[in-house]
Amino acid sequence: MQASIETTGNLERRLSIPLPEDRLQSLVSGRLSEIGRTVRLNGFRPGKVPAKVVQQRYGEQVRGEAIENLLREGFDSAIRSNELRVAGQPRIEKSDEGELAFVATVELVPDFGDIDVSALTVVRDSAEVSDADIDQMIENLRLQRRSFQPVARAAQVGDLVAVETFSVADGERLPAEGAEAGQVIIGSGMMFPAIEQGLVGLSKGEEKTLDVEFPADWRVPVLAGKNVAVTVKAQDVAEPVMPEVDAEFIKSFGVKSGDAEQFRADIRSNLERELKGALMNRLRREVGEQLIAAYASVELPPRLVETEARSMLAQQVEQIRRQGGNPGQVPADAHTGFMDAARKRVLVGLLVGEVARRNELRLDPKRLNETLNLIASTYEEPEQVVEMYRQDPQLMSGLQGRVMEEQVIDWIAERAQHTVNALSFQEAIRP
C-alpha cells in the first residue's frame, strides 16, 4: 500500500492512497468469521450461523470498517514516510481511479525557523487575595440575598422602584395608550442611565418628565438618535434590607457548620481559584501577543485559518442563541469578519505546538489531576465530575489539550525576558 504525494501549494500536499484488495478481503473474512463464532441470531445455535447469513447481515458494515481502518493505516504510513507535519484535519475523498483509491489533502505546519523564546519580552501579572477582597465578596453575597421594604421617603440610589413610563418622540406617543410598567434598582444599569437617575428624588405616586437623548445605536429604533420626552412615575419605593452574616446566612452557602472562619476560608479558596484562572488567561494573552508580533510574517495554512474563522462565527451565533437572542440569517461569508482573529489564534496554536515538539515537552499528569480536581471542586458532587471526565474521551482530550497549552505557555514565559506586574485582585480578574 504505497501512497504517492503531490505538492499542490506551499503548505498543501495531495496524497493518493490505494487500498490493497487482498488485504481488505482478508480483514473482512477474518472479522466475519469472528462474528459468526460469537453472534446470537434467532433460529440458530451460537456458533452455527451460516456464513451466508453473517455475510448478508454484517458484510457491508464490516467492509466499511475495514476500509476505514486500512485508509487510516495508509494515511498514517504516508505521513510518517514523507516526514510530513500535518496542521488540522485532512480532507479525504474517493478518487476517480477505482473503488479502493482515495485522495487525502492535507495542510502542513509552516517552517517557523529558529524559535528563540528567550528573545521575547513578557510582562507577567501577579496578584493575591486579600482580607479586603474576602470582605467585598461577603458584601456581594449579602447584596444577592437582600430584601426590600417599602419606604415613605424619596427614592435614592440602591432603592427598588416600581415605575411606569411612556415616551413622546417626534410627536408620537410610545406606547400609544397607558404606560409600560416595570421595576428597577437605581444604579443597577437595568434602564437607560438618564432615566434611571431621573428616578432619584421621586416619592411614591410622584412623576416627572425627563429630556433624554438616546444614542444613534440604541436598541429601540424609533428612539435611536433622538431627543425624547420620557415621563416616569414612581408607583412604589422600597429600600434594601441587608441580611446579617450569621450562622443561618453562612449555612445557606453550603457551610454546614455555619462557622464564620470556615466561610471565609471557603471564599478565599474560591477567589484564589478564580484568580489563578484569570492570571493564566492574562499570561496566555500576553505570550500570544508576543508570539504574534515575532512571527506575523509566517505563511499559515489557509484552509485551517478559514476553518477556525467559521468555528469562531459558530460560537458567537450559539452564544447569541443561549442569551435568548435571534442571530437571524447568517450570510455565507460572515466568517470573513473573523479571519484576522482566526489567523492570530492559529498562529499561536501552531507555535505552541512547535515549542512543545522541539523541546519534547510532555503532559504533566500531576498538573492534569490538579486541574481536574479544581474543576470538580466547583460542583456539589466532585467525585462524579472526575469520573465523568475519566469516562468521556472527548472531555478528557479537551482538558489534556488545555493543560498542555498552559504548560507550554508557562515554559515560554519562564524562559522569556519577563517582568512582574503587581495587580490587585480586582484588577487581575477584570477582562
Q: Which residues of 331-361 are buried (b: 16+ CB within 10 A; e: fewer)?
A: eeebbeebbeebbbbbbbbbbbbbbbeeeee
Residue 137 forms part of a structural domain: no
Domain hosting 183: range is 147-241
| DSSP, res 163 | E
Which of these three, 199, 222, 241, is where a domain ends? 241
Q: What is the Cα Rg of the chain in Å? A: 32
Contact 19, 100 (CB under 8 A): yes
413 and 315 part of one domain? yes
Is pLDDT of 48 > 80? no
- Predicted confidence at residue 1, as pLDDT, reads 55
| DSSP, res 105 | E
Span 374-409, pLDDT tens digits: 888 888 788 999 999 999 999 999 999 999 999 999
95 and 230 part of one domain? no
At 255 the three-state DSSP class reads coil
Grid cell in block for residue 400: 489534556
- Total-model pTM: 0.78
- Predicted confidence at residue 211, as pLDDT, reads 94
206 and 310 part of one domain? no
CATH number of the domain at 355, please. 1.10.3120
Residue 367 forms part of a structural domain: yes
Is pLDDT of 12 > 60? yes
CATH number of the domain at 152, please. 3.10.50.40
Q: CA 194 from chain center: how many Å?
A: 35
Grid cell in block for residue 248: 443561618
pLDDT band at 222 (very low <50, low <70, confident <90, very high): confident
Helix or strand run (H / E) with residue 106:
strand 101-108
Is pLDDT of 425 > 90? yes
pLDDT band at 100 (very low <50, low <70, confident <90, very high): confident
Residue 141 forms part of a structural domain: no
Q: Which residues contact 83 (CB under 8 A, 6 or more apart)?
A: none
- Predicted confidence at residue 349, as pLDDT, reads 94
> How many domains, in total, are found in the chain?
3
pLDDT band at 419 (very low <50, low <70, confident <90, very high): very high
Is pLDDT of 95 > 90? no
Residue 138 forms part of a structural domain: no
Span 258-277, pLDDT tens digits: 999 999 999 999 999 999 99
195 and 66 part of one domain? no
